[in-house]
Chains A and B, each alone.
Chain A
Amino acid sequence: MNNTTNIMIVGVGGQGSLLASKLLGHVVMTKGYDVKVSEVHGMSQRGGSVVTYVRFGDKVYSPVIDKGEADFIISFEVLEAARYIPYLKKDGRIIVNSQEIDPMPVITGAAEYPEGLLDKMKAPGIEVSALDALALANEAGSQKAANIALMGRFSKFFEDISEEEWLHSIEACVPPKFLELNKKAFYLGRNS
C-alpha cells in the first residue's frame, strides 16, 4: 500500500534460493532501504516447493508477500514460476530459469509435467524472461552458481542498483573461494 517493492524467489528446495535472497537483502540494505526477507527452513526445504519473500522500501511491515503484490517473481524452475502467478502484480515481471524438475507426482506417474508453461504464463499478458541459468552457470564453472546467474538476469530489470553495488554485495555474501565463479555467473546472467 506504499512504495514497497516486492520480490518473490521461488524454486525447489535445495536449489540455492537462500543465497539469492541473502544477496538481494544485502544489496537493498546497503542502498538504505528498510527490508524484510522471509525464508523457509526445515521439512519443506527437502525438495519441496519453496518460497522466499524479499520486501523493501521506506518502511516495511509484513514479512510476506500476498496474492497480487509481487513486482517480480524470480523462479529457479518453470513449474514453480507458473504456480505462483496469482502472487504477481498486474504489471509484474517473471524471470525464470528454463530448467524443469519433475515433482514426485510426475515421477510416480500420477501426473504429467505440464507442457507449454512459458506460453501459458505469457497468455494473460505477463512479461516473462526465460534463461538457461544452468548452462550459464556451467559456463562459469559450476552448476551451483545457477542462482547467481539468475540474479544477474534480474539485475538488468532493476535499475535502482548499479553493477558496482551488486558486485560489492556478491563479495559480502559469497565465500572468497567461490567469488570469481559467482561473479562470472552474475555477468553471464546479466548480459544474457
Chain B
Amino acid sequence: MKEIMLGNKAFARGLYEAGVEVVSSYPGTPSTEVTEEAAKFSEIYCEWAPNEKVAMETAFGASLAGKRSFCGMKHVGLNVAADPLFTISYTGVNAGMVICVADDPAMHSSQNEQDSRHYAIAAKVPMLEPSDSAESLEFAKLAYEMSEKYDTPVIMKMCTRIAHSQSLVNTGERIVPETKPYEKNIAKYVMMPGNAIRRHPVVEQRTKALTELAENTSLNRIEEGKGNSIGIITSSTCYQYTKEALGDKYPVLKLGMVNPLPVEKIKNFAKTVDKVVVIEELDPIIENHCRTIGIEVEGKELFSIMGEFSQSVVAKALGEPEKDTYAPLENLPVRPPVMCAGCPHRGLFYTLSKNKLNVLGDIGCYTLGAVAPLSAVDMTLCMGASISSLHGFNKALGNESENKTVCVIGDSTFMHSGMTSLANIAYNQSNSTVIILDNSITGMTGHQQNPTTGYNIKGDPAGKIDLEALCRSMGFNRVVVVDPYDLAETERVIKEELAADEASVIISRRPCALLKYVKHKPSLHVDTEKCKSCRACMKIGCPAISFKNGKAHVDNTLCVGCGVCRQLCKFDALLDKEAE
C-alpha cells in the first residue's frame, strides 16, 4: 500500500517488516520518531533507556540472545554510545543489530554539527544512508541482512531533512526470522586482550568483504546524464538537491552505502567524465576517499563544510542561473525560540537571574534560559556537564564561587548522565548547589517518558526512581523540593542552600505546561487603569505578555494563567479574568 510517511516513521516500518523484536533508544532530535513509531507496533518490545550507551548495550544483549534488535540516537548520542560501538564491531552480532544515528546539519536542534560518518570509519562498521522515506524503509531491511551476513552492527545514518520529511513509501509484510540460538563463545564475545587481538584481523577482513560489496551493491548506483563534462558523486539529501537542480544534465554516482566506500566503482565512474564533483554536507569524507584512491575531485572548494545545502546551493556552485526573487523586507525583528507561556522553568530562571548567580546549564528546553531577557545561563556543553562542571568550578574557586554558583539539569538529563556527576560531588566533596528541574517528562524532544516519570514508552505504569531518595542515598543531607511558580519560596530556598556549608540538591518541581494532563487556569487580564507601565512583568520574558498602547497586554491565546507575572506586579494590575 502506498502511504505518505515521515522518514523516521518509514524507518520504523522497515524495522517492523524486518522482524525486529527489541528496540532500546534514547530520544534526540531528529532521531526520536523512529523509536516512537516502532513502539506503536505491539509485536516489537520498545523502551526508552536512560542514555544511548545503555540503549546500545541493551540492543546488543538482544542480538546476542538471538533476536533482531535496534537502537536509535542523534549524532551527539553516538558520542555517549561510542564505547560499546567500537567493541561490538569486534565481537560482531548474533541476530542482526542496526543502529540509527541522525545528524543535524545546520543545528536545528543541536549543540554541534558533527558528522557521524567519522564513527563508521573509526569503528570499522558499515553505514547506509537513505535519501528519502522509501529508502529509509528499504535500507532498514537490507541493513539487517547485511548485519547477519557480515557479522557486524550496521549504522544507518539519517539527517534532519530525511528524518523529518514525509514522502511516499510502499509498505510490505512483517517477516520474523527464526531466533538464532544463543551459543556460548568466549573467543568471540569476551573482549579481553588475548581474544580481541584475534578479532581485530576478522574486522579488517570484514571491511575488505564489505568493500567488495560496495563495488557491486545496487545501493551505490550510477544514473546516466546527458553530458559528461562533469560527473557528480553524492548521497542522502544532497542527491535530491542535485537532481532537483540539475535533473539529468550530468551523470550521478549515488551512494547508499557510505562506509566502506567503493574504490573501483569510483575509478570507473571518473573515467567516464571530464571532471568529478563531490556534493556532501559537512565533512569532506567522500572527497578525501577519492583523493586517497588517486581520483582528482572538486568538493569543498565549491561547497561549504558547514550547514545544510539546497537545490540553489548546488545550482550556484555548478554555474546554473539563479532564480529571480523579491528583495527581503528590511528591519524585521528575529523570532528566536523561547520558553513557552507557563513554562515552569521561567520562575526559576527569573530568580537565578535576579540574584545574579553563575548558572552552569545543561541540555534541554531550559537551555533557553540563556535567551534575553532572562539571560540566566552561563554555559551549556553536553548532557550531564552542568553538575560535573559546577564541581570543577567550585574546586577551582572554593569560597569565592560556592555561594553564588549553581547548576541546572532536567530530570531526563539527570537520569541520562547527571547521576555519575552527582556521585563525584558526593565523593570528592565540593560545596555545590545542584538544581534539578523536574518537569516530569523529557520536554525538548517532544514528551518522552523517563525513569523518573513512572511510565514507560507505551504510557503504561513502570518503575519510578525517587529523585529525593536517590540524592539522599548518595549522601546529600540537604535535598529540598520547591515549586518554581512560587517566586518568593524559590528565592528563599536558593539563598538558603547557597549559604549552607555543605552540598545540596534543590528539586524545582512542576510538570511541563504542555503536558496534556496539566490543567491550566484561564488567561490573566491586564487592568489598564491599574497598570502603571513599569514593565516589571516583562522581565520574565513570557511570550504571552507584550506592551500595547503603553500598557501591558496579555495574549489570551497563549497565557495559561500560571501567575508568575502577577507576583512581579506591585499594582495588582494582572487580574484573574476579563474584568468588564
For chain B, residues 545 to 560, give those with C-beta under 8 angstroms from any C-beta of chain A: 545-547, 555, 557-558
User: Chain A contacts of B322 at CB under 8 A?
Assistant: 68
Closest Cβ of chain A to B246, distance in Å, is 9
Q: Beta-carbon contacts of B142-183 to A below 8 Å, as 1s and 0s?
A: 000000000000000000011011111000000000000000
B444 at interface by CB-CB < 8 Å: yes
B184 at interface by CB-CB < 8 Å: no
Are B310 and A66 closer than 8 Å at their CB atoms?
Answer: yes
For chain B, residues 92 to 118, give those with C-beta under 8 angstroms from any C-beta of chain A: 108-109
Question: Which of B337-345, B427-435, B484-492 participates in binding chain A?
Answer: B337-345
Are B555 and A46 closer than 8 Å at their CB atoms?
Answer: no
Are B338 and A38 closer than 8 Å at their CB atoms?
Answer: no
User: Chain A contacts of B329 at CB under 8 A?
Assistant: 82-83, 85, 114, 117, 120-121
Can you report 8 A-B residue pairs in the complex whose CB atoms are below 8 A from each other?
A43-B109, A44-B108, A46-B365, A47-B543, A63-B161, A66-B312, A83-B335, A86-B326
A109 at interface by CB-CB < 8 Å: yes
User: Chain A contacts of B161 at CB under 8 A?
Assistant: 38, 63-64
Are A41 and B541 closer than 8 Å at their CB atoms?
Answer: no
User: Chain B contacts of A60 at CB under 8 A?
Assistant: 167
Closest Cβ of chain B to A103, distance in Å, is 4
Q: Beta-carbon contacts of A27-56 to B below 8 Å, as 1s and 0s?
A: 001000011111111111111110000000
B328 at interface by CB-CB < 8 Å: yes
Are A39 and B164 closer than 8 Å at their CB atoms?
Answer: yes
Q: How far is the CA of A86 from the CA of B330 in the complex (A)?
A: 12
Are B541 and A40 closer than 8 Å at their CB atoms?
Answer: no
User: Chain B contacts of A83 at CB under 8 A?
Assistant: 328-329, 332, 335
Are B165 and A36 closer than 8 Å at their CB atoms?
Answer: yes
**Which residue of chain A is the closest to B320 with respect to CB atoms?**
A1
Are A107 and B546 closer than 8 Å at their CB atoms?
Answer: yes
Are A46 and B368 closer than 8 Å at their CB atoms?
Answer: yes
Q: How far is the CA of A107 from the CA of B346 in the complex (A)?
A: 15
Closest Cβ of chain A to B256, distance in Å, is 16
B193 at interface by CB-CB < 8 Å: no
Are B4 and A104 closer than 8 Å at their CB atoms?
Answer: no
A interface list, Cβ under 8 A from B: 1-2, 12-14, 25-26, 29, 34-49, 60-64, 66-69, 79-80, 82-83, 85-88, 90, 101-114, 117, 120-121, 124, 126, 134, 143
Are B335 and A66 closer than 8 Å at their CB atoms?
Answer: no
Q: How far is the CA of A86 from the CA of B323 in the complex (A)?
A: 10
Evaluate whether A47 and B372 lie within 8 angstroms (CB atoms) in the complex, with A62-B244, A64-B310, A107-B541 already known. no
Residue of A42, A47, A48, A108 with most chain B CB atoms under a 10 A cut-off: A42
Q: How far is the CA of A87 from the CA of B323 in the complex (A)?
A: 10
Evaluate whether A67 and B325 lie within 8 angstroms (CB atoms) in the complex, with A26-B4, A43-B337, A49-B335 already known. yes
Evaluate whether A101 and B109 lie within 8 angstroms (CB atoms) in the complex, with A47-B338, A48-B336 already known. no
B interface list, Cβ under 8 A from A: 2, 4, 6, 29-30, 32-33, 108-109, 132, 161-162, 164-168, 237, 240-241, 243-245, 247, 310-312, 322-329, 331-340, 365, 367-368, 371-373, 444-446, 535, 538, 541-543, 545-547, 555, 557-558
Q: How far is the CA of A120 from the CA of B326 in the complex (A)?
A: 12
Are A48 and B337 closer than 8 Å at their CB atoms?
Answer: yes
Task: Summarize B's interface: helix, strand, loop or mixed.
Answer: loop
Evaluate whether A111 and B311 lie within 8 angstroms (CB atoms) in the complex, with A63-B240, A126-B326 already known. no
User: Chain A contacts of B337 at CB under 8 A?
Assistant: 13, 43-48
User: Chain A contacts of B327 at CB under 8 A?
Assistant: 86, 124
Number of A-B contacts (CB under 8 A): 192
Closest Cβ of chain B to A30, distance in Å, is 10
Closest Cβ of chain B to A52, distance in Å, is 10
User: Chain A contacts of B541 at CB under 8 A?
Assistant: 104, 107-108
Across the interface, A104 reaches (CB within 8 A) one of B2, B323, B331, B372, namely B372
User: Chain A contacts of B244 at CB under 8 A?
Assistant: 1, 61-62
Closest Cβ of chain A to B479, distance in Å, is 30
**Which residue of chain B is the closest to A21 with respect to CB atoms?**
B166
Q: How far is the CA of A36 from the CA of B243 in the complex (A)?
A: 14
**Which residue of chain B is the closest to A2 with respect to CB atoms?**
B247
User: Chain B contacts of A113 at CB under 8 A?
Assistant: 333
Evaluate whether A43 and B547 lie within 8 angstroms (CB atoms) in the complex, with A61-B244, A79-B335, A126-B326 already known. no
Are A134 and B557 closer than 8 Å at their CB atoms?
Answer: yes
Are A82 and B332 closer than 8 Å at their CB atoms?
Answer: yes
User: Chain A contacts of B6 at CB under 8 A?
Assistant: 39
Are B243 and A61 closer than 8 Å at their CB atoms?
Answer: yes
Are A38 and B164 closer than 8 Å at their CB atoms?
Answer: yes
Across the interface, B167 reaches (CB within 8 A) one of A36, A68, A121, namely A36
User: Chain A contacts of B335 at CB under 8 A?
Assistant: 12, 47-49, 79-80, 83, 103-104
**Which residue of chain B is the closest to A38 with respect to CB atoms?**
B165
Are B338 and A46 closer than 8 Å at their CB atoms?
Answer: yes
Are B4 and A62 closer than 8 Å at their CB atoms?
Answer: no
Q: How far is the CA of A12 from the CA of B333 in the complex (A)?
A: 13
Q: How far is the CA of A34 from the CA of B240 in the complex (A)?
A: 14
Q: How far is the CA of A80 from the CA of B164 in the complex (A)?
A: 21
User: Chain A contacts of B108 at CB under 8 A?
Assistant: 40-44
Evaluate whether A103 and B165 lie within 8 angstroms (CB atoms) in the complex, with A61-B240, A66-B311, A109-B547 already known. no
Evaluate whether A41 and B331 lie within 8 angstroms (CB atoms) in the complex, with A1-B245, A61-B240 already known. no
Given contacts A25-B166, A35-B168, A47-B338, 16 further A-B contacts (CB under 8 A): A25-B4, A37-B167, A41-B32, A41-B33, A43-B29, A48-B335, A61-B243, A63-B165, A64-B161, A66-B323, A67-B323, A85-B328, A107-B542, A109-B547, A114-B329, A143-B557
